[in-house]
Amino acid sequence: MMIDRKQIVEIAENYYTDEIQIGTVASHSALDVFDGAVEEGFKTFAVCQAGRDKTYTDYFRAQRDVEGNVVRGIVDGSVTYDRFNEVLLPENQKMLVDNNVLFIPNRSFTSYCGIDEIENDFAVPLVGSRNMLRSEERGIGQDYYWLLEKAGLPFPERINDPQDIDELSIVKLPHAVKKLERGFFTAGTYDEYLEKSRSLIKQGVITEDALASARIERYVIGPVFNFDLFYSPIEEEMNKIELLGIDWRFETSLDGHVRLPAPQQMTLAEHQLTPEYTVCGHNSATLRESLLEDVFRLAEKYVKASQKHYDPGVIGPFCLQTCIDKDLNFSIYDVAPRVGGGTNVHMSVGHPYGNTLWRKQMSTGRRVAYEVRRAVETNQLDKIIT
Ligand SMILES: Nc1ncnc2c1ncn2[C@@H]1O[C@H](COP(=O)(O)OP(=O)(O)O)[C@@H](O)[C@H]1O
Ligand SMILES: [Mg+2]
């Protein structure tokens, strides 16, 4: 059963507010979160996994002067487990609570620790909406597509049967070997779907099972804009919805393909023919001004629907991942109900939109920490944790 919000609020009520630390799983967007936390005067705590910990425990470790001001780096405290999911062990949860840690959920946290466990067992205050994390699991009953439909928001048309593929479509399924990565491919006809899927199964990139439950949808031909948004339940005077940044991703081997001339693409070996979509970096973008209001409309609708169907709804950072077609229509193809995966792009320097709104450098990480700061100062921490 989902941990009761009351229980979490009670835990946080026992925190020493002067000693609150910002913690997260040390991966994904953790650097942005830690950087923002330090900027807002918090100590930080990294939950690391052995073999991938040094970024946090060594290279970006914080050095503070006698007064506690940061001289270098961003990570104050850390723990390194053999596996990330050891953070779920009762004694390790207790350690976080004893250290007054508010935990920022990211995609690595949900992927490595498991949604059931986070919902039912992880009794550490999360900044954000615990019950919404599940919505990004494509294919479960009330996933983000379901919510987008309820909200009346545009998403790529679903194709229920591969035999109905009549124009360029994308088939979304997990990679067979690279756990947690994508085994996506595109096809313009049913024949192409058969040909490609057979080849990918033969190569061990995808499995028959995963293919059977894949989501197939129309491919939107146009640029990608991921909107790094923020919803503040404690804002009273200004709009509660903020656009902080816009990013898009570098993906292997897709980004290599688009840098080859077409004749060269045609002669690639079979194992190179179908690009992979593994995210390996981020870039920053801005949007044509006349389209910005559309984005706010999308965000307003999403937040409203989340409040109706996922009480209490979005809290803090979330990310609408969109494509824009030739008629400038948005399609939302993915939603992260938590800090997005591309926010390191405006880490520390802030983003044109966040900075413009706040009149100072405002990254997603800093915005999260600032929200905690404001909530603590106005005695409203209960409104931003679950
Ligand atoms: N309907 C679509 N049309 C065009 N490109 C898409 C579509 N859906 C996804 N993509 C591309 O695939 C990438 C990953 O898709 P996404 O649904 O976000 O997968 P994940 O859940 O693994 O993040 C996106 O960055 C985008 O470039
Ligand atoms: Mg995505």
Contact (CB, 8 A) for 159 and 217: yes
Answer whether residue 357 is part of any domain: yes
What's 308's domain CATH number? 3.30.470.20
Answer whether residue 139 is part of any domain: no
Residue type at 191? Answer: D
Q: Is the CB of 321 under 6 A from ligand 1?
A: yes
Residue nearest to atom 13 of ligand 1 (CA): 277
Answer whether residue 244 is part of any domain: yes
Interatomic CA distance for residues 280 and 20, integer angstroms: 32
Residue 379, CB-side half-sphere exposure with 13 Å CA sphere: 0
Query: Quick one: pLDDT at residue 333?
Result: 98
Ligand 1 nearest atom to the CA of residue 181, by list position:
22
Interatomic CA distance for residues 42 and 377, integer angstroms: 13
Query: 75 — phi, psi (to 5°)?
Result: -105, 115
Regarding whether 278 and 226 lie in a shared domain, the answer is: yes
Which residue of 106, 334, 339 sits with most ligand 1 atoms within 8 Å of its CB, as the best mutation to test the pocket?
334
Regarding whether 208 and 97 lie in a shared domain, the answer is: no
Regarding whether 317 and 342 lie in a shared domain, the answer is: yes
DSSP 122-144: --S-BBS-GGGGGGGSTTSTT-H
Answer whether residue 302 is part of any domain: yes
Tell me the sheet residues that pair with 350: none
What is the H or E stretch that residue 280 is in? strand 277-284
Question: Cα of 285 to ligand 1 centre, how many Å?
Answer: 17
Tell me the sheet residues that pair with 252: 278
Answer whether residue 366 is part of any domain: no
β-strand pairing of 101-103 with 169-172:
unpaired
Query: 147 — phi, psi (to 5°)?
Result: -65, -40
Regarding whether 88 and 54 lie in a shared domain, the answer is: yes
Q: Is the CB of 371 under 6 A from ligand 1?
A: no
Please tell me whether the peptide bond between 169 and the residue prior to it is cis, using omega within 30 degrees of 0.
Answer: no
Regarding whether 180 and 128 lie in a shared domain, the answer is: no
Regarding whether 115 and 186 lie in a shared domain, the answer is: no
Regarding whether 193 and 230 lie in a shared domain, the answer is: no
Answer whether residue 369 is part of any domain: no
- Closest residue by Cα to residue 334 from 258, 231, 225: 225
Regarding whether 242 and 206 lie in a shared domain, the answer is: no
Coil, strand or helix: which one is 67? Answer: coil
What is the tally of structural domains in the chain?
Answer: 3
Residue nearest to atom 27 of ligand 1 (CA): 224
- Closest residue by Cα to residue 121 from 91, 159, 156, 155: 91
CA of 184, nearest ligand number: 1
Ligand 1 nearest atom to the CA of residue 321, by list position:
18
Q: Is the CB of 341 under 6 A from ligand 1?
A: no
Query: Quick one: pLDDT at residue 36?
Result: 98
Coil, strand or helix: which one is 37? Answer: helix
Question: Cα of 306 to ligand 1 centre, how many Å?
Answer: 21
Interatomic CA distance for residues 369 and 364, integer angstroms: 9
Ligand 1 nearest atom to the CA of residue 182, by list position:
22
What's 24's domain CATH number? 3.40.50.20
Task: Flag whether the pTM goes above 0.85.
Answer: yes
Residue nearest to atom 9 of ligand 1 (CA): 333
Q: Around ion ligand 2, which residues have CB less than 5 A away?
A: 321, 334
Query: Number of helices and strands (H, E) in the chain?
Result: 15, 14
Contact (CB, 8 A) for 331 and 154: yes
Domain residues for the domain of 289 are: 144-154+222-361
Regarding whether 296 and 149 lie in a shared domain, the answer is: yes
Residue type at 110? Answer: T
Contact (CB, 8 A) for 21 and 352: no
In terms of DSSP H, where are the helices of the chain?
5-13, 30-39, 54, 90-98, 107-113, 115-120, 144-151, 190-202, 208-212, 254-257, 262-266, 270-273, 289-309, 352-358, 364-377
Query: Quick one: pLDDT at residue 179?
Result: 82
Regarding whether 230 and 194 lie in a shared domain, the answer is: no
What tokens appear for 369 in the block? 């920490």
Residue position matching structure tokens 């939302």: 332
Regarding whether 349 and 242 lie in a shared domain, the answer is: yes
What tokens appear for 110 in the block? 């949900």
* Cβ neighbours of residue 24 closer than 8 Å, sequence gap 6 or more: 30, 33, 34, 46, 47, 103, 104, 105, 106, 109
Distances (CA, A) of 27 to 98, 112, 131, 138, 328: 23, 11, 21, 22, 34
Averages of pLDDT over each 10 residues, the chain, 386 residues: 97 98 98 98 98 98 97 98 98 98 98 98 98 95 96 98 98 93 96 97 96 97 98 98 98 96 96 94 97 98 98 98 98 98 97 97 98 98 98
Regarding whether 295 and 241 lie in a shared domain, the answer is: yes
Residue nearest to atom 1 of ligand 1 (CA): 219
Answer whether residue 368 is part of any domain: no
CA of 138, nearest ligand number: 1
Query: Quick one: pLDDT at residue 76?
Result: 98
Query: Quick one: pLDDT at residue 247?
Result: 98
Answer whether residue 255 is part of any domain: yes
